[in-house]
Amino acid sequence: VKVKHATCESVSSPISITDTFSAMVMPSGGPFEVCAHEEFYLYLQLPTGGNLTWFYYENDKALTEVLNQQSSEVHTFKTGYYYAQVNKNACVFETDPKHVVVYPSDSVFVPNIFTPNGDIYNPVFQASGAVAEISLQIINRYGKTIFIGDGYKGWDGGDAASGIYFWTVQYPGCRNEPKTKRGTVHLFR
């Protein structure tokens, strides 16, 4: 800047004002894989005097959603990218996005009764759920395995008599770990 007034001349050098702050979303690393029934939070240590806003986008950053403001943590409830923006003293800092993959819960439903009696109601004993595959094993009251097959296709009862049968289903959990459930089913003819 140069200022001239009558016989005086003043020269000053340009100055640069910077606020050196940074913020990092924790935990570090990623991508993070979580199951829908688990609570997973990202958090950020907010610099003193800063304002914080969390953002989310699925694939395209142009379609970003504002999640919340002034909270040092955010609950990751769906698959996508999460990042924070910190405003402090007219400076803006944006964190690197954290990729979070939220897998559906591995719930499996197995009924306790079925009626393979020739009508259209409940003719097959079958499991259902939000998992890729379910294997089904049926055991009679004498401990003999009488059926092994696909839990989604189920068991039609074959020539088994009315009564109580034991079942075991095996399926991959949320993180592809093996899961097993056991129970009983009433077969009514």
Q: How far apart are CA 126 and CA 113, in angstroms?
A: 10
In a domain, 29, yes or no: yes
On average, the pLDDT of the chain sits at 89
Nearest to 83 by CA among 107, 67, 102, 105: 67
Clarify whether residues 150 and 84 are in a common domain. no
pLDDT of residue 165: 98
In a domain, 57, yes or no: yes
CATH number at residue 183: 2.60.40.1220
Clarify whether residues 87 and 139 are in a common domain. no
Angle at 96 between CA 30 and CA 17, to 5 degrees: 150
DSSP secondary structure letter of residue 76: -
pLDDT (mean) for 114-128: 94
In a domain, 12, yes or no: no
Clarify whether residues 42 and 77 are in a common domain. yes
Confidence of residue 141 (pLDDT cuts 50, 70, 90): very high
In a domain, 94, yes or no: yes
Clarify whether residues 44 and 96 are in a common domain. yes
Question: Is the predicted pLDDT of residue 180 greater than 90, yes or no?
Answer: yes
Check if the beta carbon of residue 188 is closer than 8 Å to that of residue 162: yes
CATH number at residue 48: 2.60.40.10
pLDDT (mean) for 113-121: 93
Clarify whether residues 36 and 69 are in a common domain. yes
Q: How far apart are CA 56 and CA 38, in angstroms?
A: 19
In a domain, 16, yes or no: no
Among 103, 131, 164, residue at a domain's last position: 103
Question: Is the predicted pLDDT of residue 57 greater than 90, yes or no?
Answer: yes
Clarify whether residues 42 and 67 are in a common domain. yes
pLDDT (mean) for 86-104: 89
Number of domains in the chain: 2
Clarify whether residues 124 and 175 are in a common domain. yes
Clarify whether residues 158 and 183 are in a common domain. yes
Among 103, 122, 141, residue at a domain's last position: 103
Among 64, 83, 103, residue at a domain's last position: 103
Q: Rounded to two decimals, what is the model's pTM?
A: 0.62
> Measured between alpha carbons, how far is residue 40 from residues 73, 77, 102, 123, 130 in Å?
10, 8, 9, 41, 21
Tell me the residue range of the domain where 61 lies: 21-103
In a domain, 86, yes or no: yes
